[in-house]
Amino acid sequence: MAIAKGMAAAAILAAAAFVLIYSMQQRQFEEHRVPMRIGGVPILVSIVETPDERARGLSGRESLAPDEGMLFIFPEDGYYSIWMKDMLFSIDILWLSAEGEVVDMRRDVAPETYPAGFSPHMPARFVLELPAGFSERNGIEIGSMAELP
């Protein structure tokens, strides 16, 4: 009986810790948004620069607002791969040059594509993740320009 009570208490503590960590991640995403433009369209992005932030990305988030995104900043140009691990919604993925030009993109990438990775056809310095359909609705194509933060 005492073991069962201890296991129940441990399960409750684990659930509470998960909720706390998730809410802290949500708040962190919302507090660190900065404005930028892509193809002349204003958006708010969360900037991720560290390896841990880049690995986590949008994993576990329930959605993005229509004008929200996540901007991955890398120290140098490269063929940076994006996966849909623990994603709950589809996204558009745009790879940008150091100058802000869209050099490659994938539209409507679904969570079900995990564990596949998506890489650009040419080197990029930034990766911009946006809600699925954003690029089509706003006429964003390869060659479109971003005004980076």
For the segment 13-29, what is each residue's pLDDT rounded down to a tens digit? 444 444 344 444 444 44
Q: Is the pTM of this model over 0.75?
A: yes
Indicate if 109 and 41 belong to the same structural domain: yes
The predicted pLDDT at position 32 comes to: 77
The predicted pLDDT at position 26 comes to: 42
Indicate if 79 and 44 belong to the same structural domain: yes
Indicate if 42 and 81 belong to the same structural domain: yes
Indicate if 129 and 76 belong to the same structural domain: yes
Which residue type occupies 88? L
Sequence-distant (6+) residues with CB within 8 A of 64 are 58, 70, 89, 91, 130, 131
Range of the domain at 18: 1-31
Indicate if 48 and 107 belong to the same structural domain: yes
Tokens representing 17?
A: 């810790």
